[in-house]
Amino acid sequence: MPLSADKRELMARVQEAVNSSGWQMIFENDEHPCFVRAFRDGDSVRMLVYIWRLTRGGPTGVRPEGEFRIQITSVNPPLRTGRGFTTLLLGWHEDLEVFAGFDVSRRPERWGASPSVQVREDTLRLATTNGFGFYRRATGTGELAVAFAPGSFMDYATNQARFHEFAEHPDEVRVLNHLTREDDDIDRERHVDLDRIGSHGRRQVVRTVNERRGHENFRARVLSAYRRHCAMCALQLDLVVAAHIVPVEEHGTNETTNGLALCYLHHEAYDRGFVIADHECHIRVNEIALERLRRIQRNSKEQEFLQNLRPDLFLPERQEDYPSAHYLRRGMELRGWPTHAA
């Protein structure tokens, strides 16, 4: 059926998530379920997306407390699957801004008037800070629900079948839960005995979850600290990302003090060394680069760009979240700025 206003909004969340995963997406139809294609660096993934909002599981005393569900309505069984595309069965939680993915292969050929599938609230909350959360039902078929942050969307989509294979291996689910449990020491890498994981595909999932954990935790903390404002221009509009001052590749940490919230424009400008924040949080422009752009007449809108820059960084409310002066100095060095006069 044609996309309703609500389904169109939900598909917008999917598109944003694909983009935040580092891919681009195009729509192939205007119906629900919706065919989309994601692509990046020559890779292409075709997906058929079924999506509903996650709502409370039912009346108190009837369903367990802390349960959320999607109700599979307005589509006829069975869910469509086939070669050449991946079918995704998704829920979206608006307040937590996370998805839940459910196992398409376990949906029946026929269902009743209002079929539903569930996930726990604490599982969803884990995904907001660690990228993923996992809930294996203790009853019935032991189905595994996978909660994931928008930045983990394509990690899930490209490994969907492998994720849900874990339902058949409860001991391996415990490994996933070990990786995503709450922990203040986000920079401490968690040791995982991959020999406990029975297939190459599921071992790859474990590696992905372990890598995503640090990234998503850093992202959530930095964006929260800066209230989703760009530190250089104070823009919000959900066009802001969490950037490392000292990149991970240069032994940078995932501490909040090694992060800045930056809009896409100023993130690019910062990484290129066109603008910088010094150890006192003053924002500075690379005058040598700017003079070159003037000389070759590529400085259109220069004044608007400069006027939109704050003189100093927009800082978090908590002083303990302020960017470290040491990291800011190191960030200048890595981006080609002298620090002896900073």
pLDDT (tens digit per residue) in 198-255? 788 888 999 899 888 888 889 989 999 999 999 999 999 989 999 999 998 888 888 9
Which pLDDT does position 340 carry in this prediction? 62
Secondary structure (H, E, C), the chain:
CECCHHHHHHHHHHHHHHHHCCCEEEECCCECCEEEEEEECCEEEEEEEEEEECEECCCECCECCCEEEEECCCCCCCCCCCCCCEEEEEEEECCCCEEEEECHHHCCCCCCCCCEEEEEHHHHHHHHHHCEEEEECCCCCCCEEEEECHHHHHHHHCCHHHHHHHHHCHHHHHHHHHHHCCCCCCCCCCCCCHHHCCCHHHHHHHHHHHHHHHHHHHHHHHHHHCCCCCCCCCCCCCCEEEEECCCHHHCCCCCHHHEEEEEHHHHHHHHCCCEEECCCCEEEECHHHHHHHHHCCCCCCHHHHHHHCCCECCCCCCHHHCCCHHHHHHHHHHCCCCCCCC
pLDDT (tens digit, 9 = 90+) per residue, 131-147? 999 998 866 667 899 99
Regions of the chain with pLDDT less than 50:
342
Predicted pLDDT at 187: 54
